[in-house]
Every structure is written in C-alpha cells, then in structure tokens.
Amino acid sequence: MDMREKKLQTVLLVFLSILLFTACQEEKKVQPPNIVFIMSDDHAYQAISAYGHALNKTPNIDRIANEGALFTHGYVTNSICAPSRAVMLTGKHSFVNGKVDNLQEFDWNQDNFAKQLQKAGYETAMIGKIHIDGLPQGFDYSNVLPGQGQYYNPDFIENGVKKQYHGYCTQITTDIALDWLDTKRDKSKPFLMLYHQKAPHRTWMPEKKYLKLFENTTFMPPANFFDNYENRPVAAEHEMGIFEHMDLVYDLKMLDKEEQLQTKYRRFAQNMYNRMDSAQREAWDAHYDPIIEEFKSMQLEGEELALWKFNRYMRDYLSTIQSVDDGVGEVLNYLDEQGLAENTIVVYTSDQGFYLGEHGWFDKRFMYEESFRTPILMRYPKEIKAGTVVDELIQNLDFAPTFLDFANTNIPKEIQGESFRNIVNGKSDKWRDAIYYTYYEYPGEHNVQRHHGVRTDRYKLIHFYYDSDTWELYDLELDPSEMNNVYEDPAYEEAREKMHLKLNEIRQKYGDSDEQDQQHLKRFLGKKNLQH
C-alpha cells in the first residue's frame, strides 16, 4: 500500500469515526426523558422541610430540591382535589375541562398529556389516588384508589378490576409503583409514571411505625390562629375551623369504647376503624386509648381545647407525611440502583396546599396563600442544576405542557398552561406576571363561597360572587398573612384599579365569564338535587 492509499485510508477512518461519534451524540441528545410525577393529597408546603418551616423533616422529598429545583411560588387554579387533578392532566382550567368541582363528571375522552406521550412512544402508568371516576385514559396500566381511598386495607381498581390490598395505603401505593417500574413496564420504551399518594388527606391516620413520632412535640400555632376575620366577612362564614368544626372522633381519633363522645361523623370513624385487622387495631388502641382517657379527664374548653385539637391534628397530619417521604426515598433509590436517575424527571407536588392552623383553619378551598399555594420540587440532572430556586408564578396548569416540552413532542393548541422548561433550566427569564384562580363548590362542605381572583408578585384581588358581591385586595409584600383587606383603602386606589384590569384581561385570555359562572352554578345545584 503506497503512501497515498494510507493517507486516504486514514482520512476515511477519521471521517467514519466522526460520523459514528456524531450519530451517538445525536441519539443521546434526542433520547426522551422518563417522567416520575409524584403527587400527594393536601400536602402543605409548610410541611416540607426544604421550605424552611421546621415543623417536620422530609429528607427524601428535600433531596429532589437539593439535587434539582425548589419552586417558591407554585400555585393551583382551583384548590380542591378532583378539579386540581383534572387541570394537571389536561393543562386546561376547570371551566374548560369541565371538572369544576368534586360533583361534576370528568370527560376522560378529552385529550391529556399522558395520551400525547403515548403517541410519542411512552409507556404510561397511573398509580394511587386520582379521585376522578371512570377508567383512566392515556395509561397502559392503572391501579387507582376509588374516590378518596382508605388508609388501612384499601381497595384499588387495577385496570378496571376492583380488589382489596392488606396493609397501609401509602406503602401499598409505593409497592405497586415499584413493581410496575421493575416488572410490568416495557423497558425498551421511555416511561411516564403518575405515583399519587392519598396521604396526607383527611383523616390523617398514621402508619403503625409512626404513631408516636410527634407525641412528645408541642406545636406552637400560627400567629393568626385566633383570627377574628375583621374586614373579611366571607372568611368569617367558614366551616373549617380547628376549634369549631374539626370532629373529635372522626378527625382526631377519639373513638372511645364507652361511646360517650358522640359527634357528627362518629359512624364514619367507626367504619374506618373496622377496616383494620385485629393486629392493626391492637396497635391503634395501644396508642390512642390512653390519649382518649386523658382527654376525657381534662374536660377542656375554649382556648385550651382549641390548642389541644391543633396539636392532636398536627401530630397525626405530620405522621402521615413521614410515610409519604419514605415512599419517595424508595422510588429515588430504585432509580439510582437501575441507572435511571440521570435521564428521569422527578417532580414532587400536591393537588393543593392546606391550612395548618393559619386563620384557625384546616382544609383548603380559599384563594388565600396556604391553600392556593402548593409545593413543587423537580429534579432532572441533564438540564436542571442542583440547588436551583425558581421564584416565578408557576401553576399546576403548566405541568402538561412542560412534560410534553421535555419529551420534545407536540403541545396541543388547546392547552392553556405554559411550559416552564426554560425557566427551570435557566435558559429564559420571560414569564407571566399574573395567575388566575377559580373555586365553585358552594353551597357545600366547609361553606367556602364561590370566588375567582388574580395574583401578581405583590397583590391579590379576590371576588366572592355567589350570594354576596364582596371584593378583597391584599398587599402581599406588607401583609403576607392576608389579615388586612385594603380594597376600600384610598391609599390603594391605583393598585385596585390595576388589579381589576388585570383580572378582566386574564379572564378574557382564558375564556372565562360571569355567564359561565352561572352555568356552572346551575349544573352544580342540579347535581346536588339529584344526589339528595
């Protein structure tokens, strides 16, 4: 072989090497990420230690933020279980996807992001709580709780077939998720797994191993625990007060054997207790019976009773979260062990926030911060730098387009949310300056009136409109706890007018109107009449 041939051969080898390297890089570049979307129910951001409130420790959930991003302004569009989940699936506001409250039916035939990912070649699964009737569409595998589900020995519906599992719901949900990841999915495909826990939803029944976790902890209530709702007449009409409305037996486990404590929801508490087997009941009784006897002997009233109920609530609520955190750790460890972590997006969120004594409340529904705001933590090593903090106004409306964007697939035009991919990966700082909220389930449980509103980085305007015409305006910079309604304050005239304009603009943008509000009300009242 002469020198010319050797040179030619060398050039060809170099050229082929470059082509091969480029092809490998391109293949690596376009490899779609797996997605693990973890959602718990009613998990207040205050009860995740990454947010710095020091109520409890959630090391596994925190790990997602430590290795990825923490969102400081995550919000929902409608703070109630089923509507929030419908928004998450469709990327459309409640008044567009049709699921405006827990009573209205959800049309599974409409598009959702899981269906789009299926078309893009993903293997998909929904596991745990969805709280939407009907067989989930868009999922190759589903194993979901019917309705709210039960903490002990729960029923699940696996691909349309109902069966009961023995054990604690949070661990069972995790076991099903890990089993799908390990044995049931097609491992040649990228995957989407919605791993959704029931906890820490009411009635906050802890796992056996965590029954005593916070028994020696005394929690200080929030500064506005004894709120008198001055200048906020709609808030004063609530039925979600820890002191006034939290059921001693149903919520706080005071199911005494002597049946001396007769409360509105006692029979529901008895039904939940009866689901346990003898070993579970023995552990339960060993923990709660002494507490019940002590409570009965104290004969508490007034402020002392309110504080006792608050602490009993906090101990149970936070204990259920510890099991959720354990499950997150199991899933993260599995991804590590299988070499999947680098190319898997992991998101932790809740279907809404929750009150942990703020304004004296439990539950959600109001547009005030504690229930409007939701935790969002996200990890994706390929694009998100560890320790990232996102301060922009993100909503659950944005999950669908974001996941589709990361999968480099089509985002349907009817989706109303926006992808925050370039926000979380730092490639852009252009984002919305306001978010929109709606709530419809009234007249109903907890007596929270229908309302809608708009929030910017500083102000929040709320309109309660059912059997009142009440406006509230808050300066969140000076009044983050929303104790002072400044709507009528002359000093805020300019801010009030700007927020009214912003509300009108955002309602027009998303296609909402007063006429639609009235239509939803008629359907809601009709549905309630049918149920009765």
pLDDT of 117 higher than 60: yes
| CA 31/CA 184 separation, integer angstroms | 21
Q: DSSP secondary structure string, 186-222?
A: -TTS-EEEEEE--TTSTT----GGGTTTTTT--PPPP
The full set of domains in the chain, from first to last, is 34-205+317-429 (3.40.720.10), 225-311 (no CATH), 439-531 (3.30.1120.10)
Per residue in 246-296, pLDDT (tens digit) is 999 999 999 999 999 999 999 999 999 999 999 999 999 999 999 999 999
How large a percentage of the chain has pLDDT more than 70? Answer: 93
pLDDT of 24 higher than 90: no
Query: What band does 526 get if pLDDT is binned at 50, 70 and 90?
Result: confident
Q: Is residue 90 a contact partner of residue 112, using CB atoms and an 8 Å limit?
A: yes
First to last CA, the chain: 95
Residue 27 pLDDT: 44
Query: What band does 372 get if pLDDT is binned at 50, 70 and 90?
Result: very high
| CA 311/CA 357 separation, integer angstroms | 10
Per DSSP, the three-state class of 174 is helix
Tokens in use for 265?
């929801």
Q: How far is CA 192 from CA 142, 163, 187, 344, 404, in A?
A: 12, 24, 12, 9, 11
Per residue in 480-489, pLDDT (tens digit) is 999 999 999 9
Q: Is residue 412 a contact partner of residue 116, using CB atoms and an 8 Å limit?
A: yes
Per residue in 159-197, pLDDT (tens digit) is 999 999 999 999 999 999 999 999 999 999 999 999 999
| CA 159/CA 170 separation, integer angstroms | 19
| CA 252/CA 477 separation, integer angstroms | 36
Sequence-separated (6 or more) residues with CB below 8 Å from residue 121: 32, 189, 190
pLDDT of 5 higher than 80: no
Residue 521 pLDDT: 83
Q: What is the mean pLDDT of residues 319-347?
A: 98
Q: Is residue 73 a contact partner of residue 433, using CB atoms and an 8 Å limit?
A: no
pLDDT of 22 higher than 80: no
Dihedral sign computed on CA atoms, order 139, 143, 149, 151: negative
Between 28 and 13, name the one with better pLDDT. 13
Per DSSP (E only), the strands in 88-134 are 123-128
In the predicted model, what is the mean pLDDT of the chain? 94
In this structure, what are the phi and psi dihedrals at residue 424, rounded to the nearest 5 degrees?
-75, -25
pLDDT of 9 higher than 90: no
Per residue in 215-230, pLDDT (tens digit) is 999 999 999 999 999 9
Between 98 and 3, name the one with better pLDDT. 98
Between 445 and 200, name the one with better pLDDT. 200
Residue 525 pLDDT: 82
Residue 15 pLDDT: 58
Q: What is the mean pLDDT of residues 516-529?
A: 81
